[in-house]
Amino acid sequence: MYRRTSFLVLTFILVIWEISVNFLHIPKFILPAPSLILYTCFSQAPLLLENTLVTAVEILLGLLISLAISIPLAMVMFNFPSIDAAVTPFLVISQAIPIFALAPLLVVWFGYGLLSKIIMATIVIFFPLTVSLHSGFKQVDPDYEVLFDLLDASFWKKMRLLYWPAALPSFFAGLKMAVAVATIGAVLGEWVGAQKGLGYLMIQMNARLRTDMLFAALVWLSVMGMGLWLLVSKLEKHFLFWLNDTKN
């Protein structure tokens, strides 16, 4: 139902856009018609694919690094309140500083290659993952904690059988948010300085007034972001099958 409504709204916007551009004779370097953008998406597919793969690698590596750091950190913060109090301000500061202000520094420090973009993507992804998982651990029913304590369960057994299942809904919500914003860090890094990637391609096409290629790159970037979000949604349904059964 909702997907059909979204499709109808998108179709309506594109039709109005196409009619307006042609009726008002707007130059294509200012605002290309959707038909031209669609044609560019396919006619320039090899170039777009080559740069999309670079950006995708940056995002996926940033996601993997963020998971490798945020999961153990959230567990430590949950188990040791003193560490939680010490680390939380730094997590907030990492998000309070605009990422576009860090981008030039990271490029200077780590160069124009993949590393600076991976670090930038990691910074963007890291916060929602850590905070959502940490919050999920805290949502456990205290009565269940008492029960596990009475059974003399170890911390790792409680983590595996109690805290993790309770935290999974919050964790997947944070993971969805992370993959949705992951493209921001990678593309900003490519804007500042890169040799390949969709952000690099946008800068090059902007200098040449190839607005149709700019929009085509945005389309490919949006498709990649939506694909990652749908993949996480599939994983969520798989691992949270009991919630789906409850809803049905």
What mean pLDDT is predicted for residues 65-93? 85
Distance, in Å, from the CA atom of 15 to the CA atom of 27, rounded to the nearest integer, reads: 18
Q: Which residues of 54-77 are buried (b: 16+ CB within 10 A; e: fewer)?
A: bbbbbbbbbbebbbeebeebbbeb
Has residue 107 been placed in a domain? yes
Contact (CB, 8 A) for 117 and 196: no
CATH number, domain containing residue 47: 1.10.3720.10
Give me the pLDDT at residue 1, please. Answer: 57
Helix and strand totals (H; E) in the chain:
12, 0
Has residue 16 been placed in a domain? no
Give me the pLDDT at residue 246, please. Answer: 47
Has residue 11 been placed in a domain? no
Q: Which of 167, 214, 220 is nearest to 59 (CA)?
A: 220
Q: Looking only at Cα atoms, what is the longest distance across the chain?
A: 76
Containing structural domain, residue 236: 34-140+170-247
Task: For residue 123, name the pLDDT band (cuts at 50, 70, 90).
Answer: confident
In the DSSP assignment, the letter for residue 162 is I
Distance, in Å, from the CA atom of 191 to the CA atom of 199, rounded to the nearest integer, reads: 5
Contact (CB, 8 A) for 135 and 97: no
Residues 131-160: tens digit of each pLDDT: 888 888 888 878 777 787 777 777 788 888
Has residue 13 been placed in a domain? no
Has residue 196 been placed in a domain? yes
Our measurement of the distance from residue 3's CA atom to the centroid of its chain's CA atoms, rounded to an integer in Å, reads 21
**Who contacts 77 (Cβ-Cβ below 8 Å, separation ≥6)?**
83, 84, 87, 88, 130, 134
Residues 159-180: tens digit of each pLDDT: 888 888 888 888 888 888 888 8
What mean pLDDT is predicted for residues 189-202? 82
Residue type, 206: N
- The number of distinct structural domains making up the chain is 1
Has residue 42 been placed in a domain? yes
Distance, in Å, from the CA atom of 245 to the CA atom of 106, rounded to the nearest integer, reads: 46
Report the chain's terminal Cα–Cα distance, integer Å: 17
Mean pLDDT of all residues in the chain? 83
Q: What is the pTM of this model?
A: 0.82
User: In this prediction, what percent of the chain has a pLDDT beyond 90?
Assistant: 10
Has residue 181 been placed in a domain? yes
CA distances from residue 118 to 35, 43, 95, 159, 236 in whole angstroms, order as listed:
34, 29, 16, 30, 25
Has residue 238 been placed in a domain? yes
Distance, in Å, from the CA atom of 30 to the CA atom of 8, rounded to the nearest integer, reads: 26
Residues 14-51: tens digit of each pLDDT: 888 888 888 888 888 888 888 999 999 998 889 999 99
Give me the pLDDT at residue 241, please. Answer: 67
Q: Taking the CA of residue 87 as centre, how many other CA atoms within 13 Å lie in the half-sphere pointing to its CB?
A: 17
Give me the pLDDT at residue 173, please. Answer: 86
Q: Is the pLDDT of residue 248 over 70?
A: no
